Each structure stands twice: as C-alpha cells, then as structure tokens.
C-alpha cells in the first residue's frame, strides 16, 4: 500500500503536486503575514496556515490554478479565517483567567460559607434552653471568664460552668442534627 502525504514530494495527483507547489511558493510569505496579524502567536498562525491550505486543497480547480493569481486569493482566505476566529471569540462570553477566577470564587465561596454557617449556628442556638443560651452568650460571645459571666448573670460561678458544659453538649448535638460535624 502506497501512502501519500499531502504536499509531499511523492504526491501523485495533479492536485497534490499543486498544493505542494503552493505551499513551497507562498507558504513562507503567508506565514509571515498571518503571524503579524495574530501578534506573534505561532501556534494560531500554523493553524490558520493549515486551514488556508486545506481550503485550497478542497478547491476542485486547484490543479488548474497555477496559471491564475493564487497568492491574493490565499491571503484573502487566511485573512478571512483570522477575522472569523476573532468574531467568534468576541461573540462568546469573556473568559475568566485562572488565578483571578479562583481568587474571586474563593472569596465569594468563603463569604457564602460563613453566611450559611452563621445561619446554621443561629438555628442550633435557638434549639438550646434559654439558660444554656444565656450562659454561652455571657461567656463565649461576650469574651468573658466564667467568674465575670457569673457576676453579670447574678448566679454562682459553678452554675455558669455547668450551664456552659451542658450548653456545649446540646449545641454539638443540635449542629450534628443539621449535618455539621
């Protein structure tokens, strides 16, 4: 089996020979032209050059095109491909960069997580008895010692300690019921 690569020296058909000749004659100039249009992006330039040659390949009269002015036609095809790609990109929503997107999402996700945690915590606190809730508010949320909380609540320090202990156990159970571990 004889495999022929498009544009290779062993091209058999007149279309294949014409495509190879087009590439050899116009490829370097076309490459430079497209590279300037794309601001030096070599990968996209190679893609555009390949697409241009593919469209030439698909043209049925390629073998007969040697006598006509092919170069302006090829440059127009390449220019149209670049313009079409630009229009397609402009029509899509703007892409979000990696680091910015992660940072933005991270801060939003943290805010949402804090808000949801706050809602769940408030619901769990409402499930406590008023005495247990009052003991937690007087110690943890007011940033007081048990002695200071006892003075503020007007109860013995041992009572505050006991209420805080049972309040934390009840709070843990209430949070576990809500799916928080």
Highest mean pLDDT among 96-100, 125-129, 175-179: 125-129
38 three-class SS: coil
- What pTM value is reported for the model? 0.44
Residue-by-residue DSSP string for 16-32: HHHHHHHHHHHHHHHHH
Residue 46: pLDDT over 90: yes
Residue 103: pLDDT over 80: no
Of 1-5, 48-52, 131-135, the least confident? 1-5
Of 67-71, 143-147, 177-181, the least confident? 67-71
Domains of the chain: 14-91 (1.10.1740), 106-177 (1.10.10.10)
Q: Which two tokens stand for residue 70?
A: 């092919």
The neighbour count for residue 84, using CB atoms within 10 Å, is: 11
Question: What is the mean pLDDT of the segment spanning 141-165?
Answer: 93
């Amino acid at each position: 089996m004889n495999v022929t690569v498009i544009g290779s020296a062993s091209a058999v058909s007149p279309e294949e020979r014409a495509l190879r000749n087009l590439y050899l004659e116009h490829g370097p100039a076309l490459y430079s032209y497209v590279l300037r249009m794309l601001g030096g992006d070599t990968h996209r330039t190679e893609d555009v050059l390949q697409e241009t040659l593919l469209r030439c390949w698909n043209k049925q009269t390629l073998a007969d095109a040697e006598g006509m002015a092919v170069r302006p036609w090829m440059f127009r095809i390449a220019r149209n491909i670049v313009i079409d790609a630009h229009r397609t990109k402009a029509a899509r929503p703007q892409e979000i960069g990696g680091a910015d997107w992660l940072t933005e999402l991270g801060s939003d996700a943290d805010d949402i997580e804090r808000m949801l945690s706050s809602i769940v915590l408030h619901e769990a606190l409402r499930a406590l008895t008023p005495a247990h809730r009052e003991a937690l508010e007087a110690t943890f949320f007011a940033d007081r010692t048990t002695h200071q909380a006892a003075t503020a609540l007007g109860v013995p320090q041992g009572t505050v300690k006991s209420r805080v202990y049972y309040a934390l156990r009840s709070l843990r159970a209430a949070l576990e019921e809500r799916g928080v571990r």
